[in-house]
């Protein structure tokens, strides 16, 4: 998280803020302790993004160096070549394809992120050609950078994803393993037999999960996630006095998967600020982060009747943290800001971060399943929909 923030904002302060927010938020903390799929998905999605940031940095250096060399050879003027120079081998984008395949191997909704990343990396490359004044930068950029990007992100990602099914391929009695043999003439005919069976397995699984609408007491539609409208309770027991360290007449022992309210409610304000900065300054960092967040979040609204849970938001939380950290960086001011401006920004950010730490300490017993008096647990239930 800190490295991603550093690559984006080139500020150790912003990177430190991002690391603090990530380390003390309840959703990340609880999910990491329980080791559910979402924490691994989040890791690979963030790793993909970091690889693409490194690719952006490296490829621009290569392209700028080649353009400078061409200009030097032409007496200081850049020759108007039809295609222009390339931007290198993009080994970091190849690594991003590996991470992308691993992310999809964990959870399929990672595909939305991969699509966003693919568009971003091509846009970054095309825009680099525009900034350097290369001829036909749009068309040449899409052809010269878009096609390799597709192979590296989608092609490599597909190979890695299929490798996660190695156990299924090796098995002789796995679910849907012999569907193609049992159903000749059906399915996608141009695929090899094994892949046709696997594809049908995917179709069956997608149809089931996209229409899953079983009622659940802790189900939470997507519009509630940023508001902490329905956190997920993973565990609850009611020890009596003398049991499990209970010193009151009645105690509670709970694991509630809820984010730090001061972080999550600040996300909403940070998104609005980032939108304004994007419109006014055309800041590529906030634009990229908002785009990835939107692609990871809003597709859930396409399935309003599907059973969903708050912890699904973990996949895009890193990008919300990066947005919030970046906005706090704006609050702190820049090198040209007045002393008073910097002091006010420092006080505000410092007070906010201290409040975040205190809030995390307050919710710590509910994140870790500690035995506490029932009344103390009840005081943490600020709203009835948290129970």
Residue pLDDT, tens place only, 283-307:
999 999 999 999 999 999 998 889 9
Q: What is the mean pLDDT of residues 322-341?
A: 93
Confidence of residue 82 (pLDDT cuts 50, 70, 90): low
Residue 94 lies in a domain: yes
Residue 269 lies in a domain: yes
- Report the number of distinct structural domains present in the chain: 2
Q: Are residues 122 and 234 in the same domain?
A: no
In this predicted model, which residue has the larger pLDDT, 278 or 86? 278
CA separation for the pair 223, 57 (Å, rounded): 35
Q: What is the model's pLDDT at position 95?
A: 97
Of 83-87, 221-225, 239-243, 248-252, the least confident: 83-87
Domain presence at residue 181: no
Residues 127 and 234 in one domain: no
Greatest pairwise CA separation for the chain in angstroms:
87
Least confident of 130-139, 154-163, 215-224, 311-320: 130-139
Residue 203 placed within a domain: no
Mean pLDDT of 347-374: 98
In whole angstroms, give the CA distance from residue 347 to residue 341: 10
For 45, the token pair is: 């999605």
Structure confidence at residue 331 as a pLDDT band (50, 70, 90): very high
Say if residue 138's pLDDT is above 90: no
146 and 245 in a single domain? The answer is no
User: What angle separates helix 317-332 from helix 37-73, to the nearest 10 degrees?
Assistant: 60
Q: Which helix (H) or strand (E) holds 257?
A: strand 251-257
Give the pLDDT mean for 350-358.
98
pLDDT at residue 60, rounded to an integer = 92
pLDDT value of residue 343: 94
Average pLDDT of the residues in 129-142: 84
Please tell me the number of Cα atoms within 13 Å of 199 on its side-chain side.
13
Residues 255 and 294 placed together within one structural domain of the fold: yes
Considering the domain boundaries, does residue 196 fall inside one? no
User: 261 with 164, same domain?
Assistant: no
Of the candidates 145, 170, 195, which is a domain's last residue? 170
| 118-157: burial string, b at 16+ Cβ within 10 Å, e else | bbbbbbbbbbbbeebebeebeebbbebbbebbeebbbebb
Q: Are residues 87 and 28 in the same domain?
A: no
The answer as to whether 208 is a domain residue is no
Q: Is 187 left (phi over 0), alpha (psi -120 to 50) or beta?
A: left
More confident residue, 310 or 68: 310
Q: What is the pLDDT of residues 28-47, one digit of tens each?
A: 999 999 999 999 999 999 99
Q: What phi, psi does 66 have (nearest 5°)?
A: -70, -40
Among candidate residues 170, 188, 203, the one where a domain is terminated: 170
Question: Can you tell me the distance from the alpha carbon of 299 to that of 108, in angstroms, rounded to the nearest whole number?
Answer: 12
Q: Are residues 250 and 381 in the same domain?
A: yes
What would the pLDDT profile of 173-202 be if each residue is shown by its tens digit?
999 999 999 998 888 889 999 999 999 999
Same-domain pairing of 18 and 134: no
Same domain as 298, residue 157 = no
The answer to whether residues 226 and 360 belong to one domain is yes
184 domain-assigned: no
Torsion of CA 116, 117, 119, 122, to 10 degrees: 170
- Domain extent, residue 281, equals 1-35+221-386
pLDDT value of residue 81: 73
Which one of 136, 151, 170 terminates a domain? 170
Q: Is residue 143 part of a domain?
A: yes
Q: For 55-66, write each residue's pLDDT tens digit.
A: 999 999 998 888
Together in a domain, 135 and 150: yes
The answer on 314 and 165 residing in a single domain is no
């Amino acid at each position: 998280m800190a490295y991603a923030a550093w690559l984006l904002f080139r500020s150790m302060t912003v990177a430190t803020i991002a690391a603090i927010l990530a380390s003390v938020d309840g959703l990340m903390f609880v999910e990491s302790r329980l080791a559910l799929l979402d924490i691994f998905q989040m890791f690979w999605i963030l790793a993909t993004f970091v690889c693409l940031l490194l690719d952006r940095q490296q490829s621009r250096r290569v392209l700028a160096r080649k353009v400078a060399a061409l200009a030097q050879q032409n007496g200081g003027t850049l020759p108007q070549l039809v295609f222009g120079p390339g931007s290198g081998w993009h080994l970091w984008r190849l690594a991003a394809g590996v991470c992308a395949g691993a992310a999809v191997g964990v959870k399929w909704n990672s595909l939305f992120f991969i699509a966003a990343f693919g568009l971003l990396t091509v846009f970054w490359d095309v825009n680099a050609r525009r900034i350097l004044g290369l001829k036909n930068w749009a068309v040449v950029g899409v052809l010269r950078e878009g096609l390799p990007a597709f192979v590296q992100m989608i092609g490599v990602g597909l190979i890695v994803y299929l490798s996660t099914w190695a156990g299924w391929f090796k098995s002789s009695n796995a679910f849907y393993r012999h569907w193609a043999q049992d159903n000749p003439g059906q399915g996608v005919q141009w695929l090899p037999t094994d892949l046709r069976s696997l594809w049908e397995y995917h179709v069956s699984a997608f149809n089931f999960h996209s229409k899953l609408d079983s009622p659940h007491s802790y189900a939470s539609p997507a519009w509630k996630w940023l508001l902490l409208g329905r956190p997920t309770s993973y565990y609850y027991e009611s020890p009596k006095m003398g049991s499990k360290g209970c010193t009151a007449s009645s105690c509670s022992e709970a694991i509630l998967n809820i984010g730090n309210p001061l972080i999550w409610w600040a996300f909403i304000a940070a998104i609005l600020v980032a939108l304004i900065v994007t419109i006014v300054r055309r800041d590529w960092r906030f634009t990229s982060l908002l785009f990835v967040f939107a692609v990871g979040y809003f597709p859930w609204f396409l399935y309003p009747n599907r059973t969903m849970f708050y912890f699904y938001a973990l996949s895009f939380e890193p990008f919300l943290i990066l947005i919030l950290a970046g906005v706090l960086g704006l609050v702190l001011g820049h090198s040209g800001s007045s002393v008073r401006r910097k002091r006010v920004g420092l006080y505000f950010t410092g007070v906010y971060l201290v409040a975040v730490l205190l809030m995390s300490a307050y919710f710590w017993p509910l994140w870790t399943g500690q035995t506490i008096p029932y009344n103390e647990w009840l005081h943490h239930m600020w709203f009835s929909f948290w129970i």
